[in-house]
Amino acid sequence: MDNQAQSPTALFNEEDFRGRLLQVMLRAGVNQTEFARRLGISPGFMSDMMRGLKRPGMDFLLSIKTVFGVSVDWLLTGAGAPDGASRIDLQWLKTIQLFVMIARAALIERHPAAQEVLHLLADNNLELSNTDAAAGAFVSQLQPTPQDMDFSLELYNGHLWHADALDQRRNVLAAAMSHFEMTMATDGIALLSRAAGRSVQVNVGLSQRISGKARRKQ
C-alpha cells in the first residue's frame, strides 16, 4: 500500500480535510493539477485523495507545510489558523469589531459622527486618533450587538490569509460596509414602495441610488 495513504492522526475527518485542501488551492490560485505538481505528487494520487480514496501521509503533510506554509494541525483537524497561529489576535479582533460597529452606525443608523469616521476609514486614513474629539468620543461609546460580535468573528476567520496588514484592514472594512449596504438595499419599506410603483431614494454607502419607477414629468 502507498505510504501516503496512511492516516497520521485519529482526529482526521476526510470531508473537512478535503474542504481545507480546497481552501489552500483557492488561496494559492492554483488548480488541482498544479497543486499536485508543486507538492511533487502525481495528479492521480491527488485526485484519489480529493475523492476520499486515499489519505495523506507524512510526506504529503510536510510538503504542503513547506511549499504553502500551511499548518499541519489546521489542515488535519481545523485547529488554530492556516498559518499555524494558534492564538486569537485579540487586538485585531477588536479592530474588526470596531469597524463593524462604525459601519452599522453610519449606514444603518445614519449617525453623523459614525459617517465622519467611516469616510476617514474609507479614504484609507485608518488611524482613528486622527478624528476630531466628537467623533472620537462617539467611537469610545460604541457597544457591539450580539450580531456584531458574530459577524466580527466571521470576518476574522475569513481574513486570516492576508500577508499585508493594510490590505487586510481595507478588505475587512469593505466587507463590513458591503454587509450593511446589502441590509439597506433589502429594506422592507423600499421593497414595498418599489412594488407600489413609487420612486424611493435609497442611500447606499457613500453614494445614492434611485429604486422603483421613475417619476413622470409634470
The answer as to whether 84 is a domain residue is no
User: Quick one: 178 and 96 in the same domain?
Assistant: yes
Q: How many helices (H) and strands (E) does the chain have?
A: 11, 2
Question: What pLDDT, on the 0 to 100 scale, is given for residue 129?
Answer: 47
**Does residue 54 sit in the same domain as residue 64?**
yes
Does the residue 115 lie in any domain? yes
Structural domain that includes position 207: 187-218
Domain count for the chain, please give it.
Answer: 3
Alpha-carbon distance of 203 to 183, in angstroms, equals: 11
pLDDT in tens, the chain (218 residues): 344 444 333 456 788 888 999 989 998 889 999 999 999 999 999 999 898 888 787 788 888 989 998 888 888 888 777 877 656 677 888 889 999 999 999 999 999 888 888 888 887 765 654 556 777 788 888 888 888 888 888 888 777 666 678 888 888 999 999 999 888 765 555 445 544 544 434 343 444 333 333 444 44
pLDDT for 132: 65
Instruction: Identify whether residues 176 and 192 lie together within a single domain.
Output: no
What pLDDT is stored for residue 83 in this prediction?
A: 77
Q: Do 127 and 206 have their domain in common? A: no
Note whether residue 82 is domain-resident: no
**Looking at residue 130, what is its pLDDT?**
52
Question: Where is the domain boundary, 56, 77, 98?
Answer: 77
Residue 85 lies in a domain: no
Main-chain dihedrals φ then ψ at residue 93, nearest 5 degrees: -65, -40
Cell of 13: 475527518
- What 3 state SS string does 110-156 have? CCHHHHHHHHHHHCCCCCHHHCCHHHHHHHHCCCCCHHHHHHHHHHH
Is the separation of the CB atoms in 199 and 212 below 8 Å?
Answer: yes
At 186 the pLDDT is: 57
What was the pLDDT predicted at 4?
43
Q: Which of 49, 77, 105 delimits the end of a domain?
A: 77
Same domain, 179 and 104: yes
Contact 189, 204 (CB under 8 A): no
- Are 162 and 96 in contact by the 8 Å Cβ rule? The answer is no
Q: pLDDT at position 82, please?
A: 81
Q: Do 199 and 180 have their domain in common?
A: no
Q: Do 167 and 96 share a structural domain?
A: yes
> What is the reported pTM?
0.51
Same domain, 94 and 177: yes
Do 97 and 175 share a domain, yes or no? yes
Q: What is the CATH number of the domain that holds 39?
A: 1.10.260.40
